[in-house]
Amino acid sequence: MSDEGAFCRDCLRAQPAGTRRCIACGSPRVLRHPELNALSIAHIDCDAFYATVEKRDRPDLADKPVIIGGRRRGVVLTCCYNARIYGVRSAMPMFKALELCPHAVVLKPDMAKYRQVGLAVRGRMRDLTPLVEPLSIDEAFLDLGGTELLHKATPALSLARLADAVERELGISVSVGLSHNKFLAKLASDMQKPRGFSVIGKAETTHLLAGRKVTSIWGVGSATARSLAADGIAMIGQLQEMELETLIRRYGVMGQRLWRLSRGIDDRRVDPTGEAKSISAETTFDKDLSRPEELLPILRTLCERVAHRLKQTDLAGTTVVLKLKLSLIHI
């Protein structure tokens, strides 16, 4: 007898109840969940995107730690999972990353190539549903509600087919989160990286969230986490025990967000018309520069790069921000 809530992620064959390995191909990657066929909101995230694309194009790097970023005075844009074993993380100063992993291969980013691959992934997403909301070049929300007849498959199976096609045709892997709203779908996609497919159902939402740290809540950064810690709050379960009025009194508008998301309440729709909030370009120098005649040509180049991207996407800006990081000079 077939279990409607289970299939093999490798051969996509439906699985009987209780099987731990696929009855057809023997794979241990059997996806099973009691609500698997009832959920339709997904978050898809490409795994270590830039680094994975580089490894795809350079097989000699397959087993090596790879870091994408600037030179020694720059920062880590991203890194592969091999490098993360040594403690390397995104946004880390490059010199620190190389101290942790001195044998890493450092590559400059090739944004044109990454954009091309990212658009190819997005195109495959839109083949499943028009309701695709990009968050960045390598991740997006999808709403697959009502697509079962079109694809002759549940949303879960359609997503598994997509992940398989991306890996076979584009040479990169993605992780999938499937749930009943955007917050939980994004949370799920991070649970089993890389090549993950995690599901959070309605029945388990409150219990699953209770055991997670408050930093798992979308929008809780370091400042909010410190405020919560000062009040002795570290886990989402503690927020679930608090009244809405108390949270609003202590944390203002953020208090309402904490109350709702700690309970898994998120009524935001997947919005395919969502516009990019910013477009930027930046660089890091090998040595300190201070003279205007040195800085102005570089600033002009960065401005032209931003202008080109705006024209490509037919967008216009309302505010221009110049970010300048100064070195401390000790006399």
pLDDT for 304-316, tens place per residue?
A: 667 756 655 556 7
Query: What pLDDT does 274 receive?
Result: 65
Q: Beta strand pairing status for 174-179 and 30-32?
A: unpaired
List the alpha helices (DSSP H) in the chain: 49-57, 81-85, 94-100, 111-128, 148-151, 155-170, 182-189, 205-210, 222-230, 236-240, 244-251, 253-262, 292-312
Task: Name which of 264, 253, 309 is nearest 282 in CA terms.
Answer: 309
List the alpha helices (DSSP H) in 58-181: 81-85, 94-100, 111-128, 148-151, 155-170
Structure tokens that stand for 227 in this block: 């405020």
CATH architecture of structural domain 212-262: Orthogonal Bundle (1.10)
Query: What pLDDT does 2 receive?
Result: 43
CATH number, span 2-43+116-205: 3.30.70.270
For the chain, residues with pLDDT lower than 70 are: 1-4, 72-73, 274-278, 282-289, 294, 297, 301, 304-305, 308-315, 325-331
CATH number, span 49-111: 3.40.1170.60
Q: Which residue ranges make up each domain of the chain?
A: 2-43+116-205, 49-111, 212-262, 275-331
pLDDT for 39-57, tens place per residue?
A: 999 999 999 999 999 999 9
User: Is 275 a known active-site residue?
Assistant: no
Active-site residue, from 4, 35, 139, 167:
139
Type of residue found at 11:
C
Structure tokens that stand for 125 in this block: 């997403």
Query: What pLDDT does 330 receive?
Result: 43
